């Protein structure tokens, strides 16, 4: 059963009227979702929002559906509404909402925790009511409140209490991205449907960018394609209820990125500041949570060399050397690193200044930068890919790994086209030369020999057609001669990169059970490191 995560942004749901919505119906096979011609229109369902209608339709098709609704903390300052007499569902919800408003008018919030709690209460009230009316299971719906901006009034019209939310849309984007990254990684969807119908101000635009960015990172984490379909319903005109409105497919994108591609995109974030102050006033100091975040952020920059190394080594298919690096760092606790950063960011996000008086001010004095989710995503990718690579890079008791395993390592990380060509050719060439050596009568089974001895010994064999006994004897004699005089650790940088790190002077080979294994010569490792570090 394919899994679909429905993501929606909601503004203030108290004013939404009951309409007749028809869902956008995708193909049963997620792999065909990108074909817009295969989407169809479902039957009409009476509801106050297209989000639950779309979720219900997907569930009835047999998809395992999860839903997350993102709202803003400005829902803590909502108007007092007239109770509709012709809408039982919304009428009951409005009655309950008005009770909240009446109670809050007499008591300003004490701190941001109470502001956020009030917003969660309003959002949860309408999410329960609107999803419940179409019969969608509420235990599959989550509601998340993000930090918002804008000016709103709590209570009845012009007599309401003025609330001013100051900050940056970027903080809402960061909060959403961190939540969605964890949520997607836990739910593991095959596709994501983003409903952009509702929302307020910038929220739908910000959310679409976040959903697509997380989908790309997630595709790298899981090593598979992830489809994102953006849908949107017609907007009711003139405050009329009972209209027939369709949910339309606006855009469908398929994301398929390798860990190497994602890490390469995220590398610049390690060099950026995690936040900027919105006020230039020197008297306005960053909260302690931001100071702790900056320290944590600085420590995480230590993983940049690893991320950079993986990207650069994959560029030339240097998987044998890459494996030596991965084995050194396989014990790194990337999950703890990500967890600490996440804790610091959330601590700062949920530390908004709240001041009461003639009006209530809810404020962030700073704006996060893209570098915060960027670095966190890089750590997430490293945390997933390094253990996977460490397993593929496993060696025997002598430190050898199968030459074919180098290709698996490359596929797991995602090589560049150049790296893929170089490594593919070199792996084939190693096997070809070992096979030629064995055909010539050179005994390699169970022996550890410099690859240069094999490489040079069979050069004549591979260049001639119709090889006779004399040529084979020459190959055997040359092999013995090279072993006798030894092979120096001379390594030319150009040759090293051109041969995907399988440069003959620094590599040893052995044959075990007919399979070919390779490793770097221990005495040559210093030279190898020097070449790689110089680039």
pTM for the complete prediction?
0.89
Pairing, β 161-166 against β 150-154: antiparallel
How many Å apart are CA 260 and CA 223, to the nearest integer? 11
Query: Is there a contact between 197 and 1 (Cβ–Cβ < 8 Å)?
Result: no
Query: Is there a contact between 476 and 460 (Cβ–Cβ < 8 Å)?
Result: no
Tokens in use for 513? 């059970």
How many Å apart are CA 304 and CA 309, to the nearest integer? 8
DSSP helix/strand/coil, 446: coil
1-147+168-257 belongs to which CATH class?
A: alpha beta
Per-residue model confidence (pLDDT) at position 440: 87
How many Å apart are CA 226 and CA 256, to the nearest integer? 7
Q: Strands, E, within 64-186: which ranges?
A: 64-72, 141-146, 150-154, 161-166
- DSSP characters over 385-417: HHHHHHHHT---TTS-EEHHHHHHHHHHH---H
- DSSP characters over 409-442: HHHHH---HHHHHHHHHHHHHHHHHHHHHHHTT-
* Integer angstrom CA distances of residue 297 from 172, 241, 313, 329, 342: 19, 51, 25, 20, 10
How many Å apart are CA 363 and CA 366, to the nearest integer? 9
CA dihedral over 29, 31, 35, 41, signed as positive or negative = positive
**CA 241, chain centre distance (Å):** 40
Per-residue model confidence (pLDDT) at position 94: 96
How many Å apart are CA 415 and CA 421, to the nearest integer? 9
How many Å apart are CA 138 and CA 43, to the nearest integer? 22
**CA 81, chain centre distance (Å):** 41
Per-residue model confidence (pLDDT) at position 288: 82
Q: At what angle do helices 203-222 and 259-266 cross, to 10 degrees?
A: 130
* Domain range annotation of the chain: 1-147+168-257, 258-398, 416-534
Per-residue model confidence (pLDDT) at position 297: 83
Half-sphere exposure (Cβ direction) of 452: Cα atoms closer than 13 Å: 18
Q: Judge residue 91's burial from the number of C-beta atoms within 10 Å of its C-beta, 0-12 exposed, 13-18 middle, 19 or more buried.
A: middle
Query: Is there a contact between 420 and 313 (Cβ–Cβ < 8 Å)?
Result: no
- φ, ψ for residue 320, nearest 5 deg: -65, -45
Per-residue model confidence (pLDDT) at position 320: 95
- pLDDT per residue, tens digit, the chain (535 aa), is 899 999 999 999 999 999 999 999 999 999 999 999 999 999 999 999 999 999 999 999 999 999 999 999 999 999 999 999 889 999 999 999 999 999 999 899 999 999 999 999 999 999 999 999 999 999 999 999 999 999 999 998 767 899 999 999 999 999 999 999 999 999 999 999 999 998 788 899 999 999 999 999 999 989 899 999 999 997 665 567 778 889 999 999 999 999 999 999 999 998 888 999 887 776 777 878 888 888 888 887 778 888 888 999 999 999 999 998 888 766 667 777 878 888 888 888 888 999 988 899 999 989 998 888 898 888 888 888 888 898 999 999 999 999 999 999 999 999 999 999 999 999 999 999 999 999 888 999 999 999 999 999 988 777 765 567 777 888 888 999 999 999 999 989 999 999 999 999 999 999 999 899 999 999 999 999 999 988 7
Per-residue model confidence (pLDDT) at position 331: 61
Per-residue model confidence (pLDDT) at position 142: 98
């Amino acid at each position: 059963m394919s899994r679909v995560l429905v993501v929606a942004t909601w503004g203030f749901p108290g004013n939404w009227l009951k309409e007749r919505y028809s869902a956008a119906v995708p193909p049963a096979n997620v792999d065909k979702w990108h074909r817009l011609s295969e989407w169809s229109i479902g039957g009409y369902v009476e509801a106050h929002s297209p989000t639950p209608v779309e979720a219900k339709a997907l569930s009835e098709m047999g998809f395992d559906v999860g839903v997350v609704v993102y709202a803003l903390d400005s829902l803590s300052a909502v108007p007092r509404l007239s109770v509709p007499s012709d809408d039982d569902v919304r009428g009951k919800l409005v009655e309950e909402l008005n009770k909240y408003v009446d109670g809050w008018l007499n008591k300003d919030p004490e701190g941001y925790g109470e502001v956020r709690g009030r917003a969660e209460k309003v959002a949860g009230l309408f999410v329960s009511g609107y999803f419940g009316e179409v019969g969608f299971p509420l235990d599959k719906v989550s509601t998340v409140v993000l930090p918002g901006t804008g000016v709103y009034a709590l209570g009845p019209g012009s007599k309401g209490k003025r609330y001013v939310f100051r900050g940056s849309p970027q903080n809402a984007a960061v909060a959403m991205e961190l939540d969605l990254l964890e949520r997607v990684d836990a739910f593991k969807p095959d596709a994501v449907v983003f409903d952009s119908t509702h929302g307020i101000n910038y929220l739908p635009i910000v959310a679409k960018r976040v959903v697509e960015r997380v989908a790309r990172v997630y595709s790298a984490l899981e090593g598979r394609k992830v489809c994102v379909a953006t849908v949107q319903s017609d907007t009711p005109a003139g405050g009329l209820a009972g209209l027939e409105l369709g949910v339309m497919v606006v855009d469908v994108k398929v994301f398929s990125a390798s860990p190497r591609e994602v890490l390469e995109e995220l590398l610049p974030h390690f060099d950026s500041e995690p936040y900027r102050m919105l006020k230039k006033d020197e008297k306005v100091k960053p909260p302690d949570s931001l100071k702790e975040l900056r320290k944590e952020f600085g420590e995480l920059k230590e993983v940049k060399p690893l991320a950079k190394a993986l990207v650069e080594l994959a560029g030339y298919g240097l998987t044998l050397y890459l494996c030596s690096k991965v084995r050194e760092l396989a014990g790194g606790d990337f999950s703890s690193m990500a967890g600490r950063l996440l804790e610091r960011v959330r601590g700062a996000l949920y530390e908004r200044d709240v001041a009461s008086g003639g009006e209530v001010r809810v404020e962030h004095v700073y704006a996060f930068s893209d570098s915060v989710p960027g670095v966190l995503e890089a750590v997430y990718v490293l945390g997933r890919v390094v253990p996977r690579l460490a397993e593929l890079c496993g060696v025997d008791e002598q430190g050898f790994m199968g030459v074919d395993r180098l290709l698996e390592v490359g596929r797991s990380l995602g090589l560049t086209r150049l790296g893929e060509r170089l490594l593919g050719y070199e792996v084939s060439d190693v096997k070809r030369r070992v096979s030629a050596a064995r055909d010539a009568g050179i005994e390699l089974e169970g022996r550890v020999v410099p690859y240069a001895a094999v490489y040079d010994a069979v050069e004549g064999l591979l260049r001639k057609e119709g090889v006779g006994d004399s040529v084979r004897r020459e190959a055997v004699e040359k092999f013995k001669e090279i072993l006798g005089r030894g092979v120096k650790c001379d390594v030319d940088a150009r040759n090293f990169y051109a041969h995907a790190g399988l440069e003959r002077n620094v590599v040893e080979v052995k044959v075990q059970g007919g399979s070919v294994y390779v490793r770097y010569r221990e005495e040559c490792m210093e030279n190898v490191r020097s070449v790689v570090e110089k680039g």
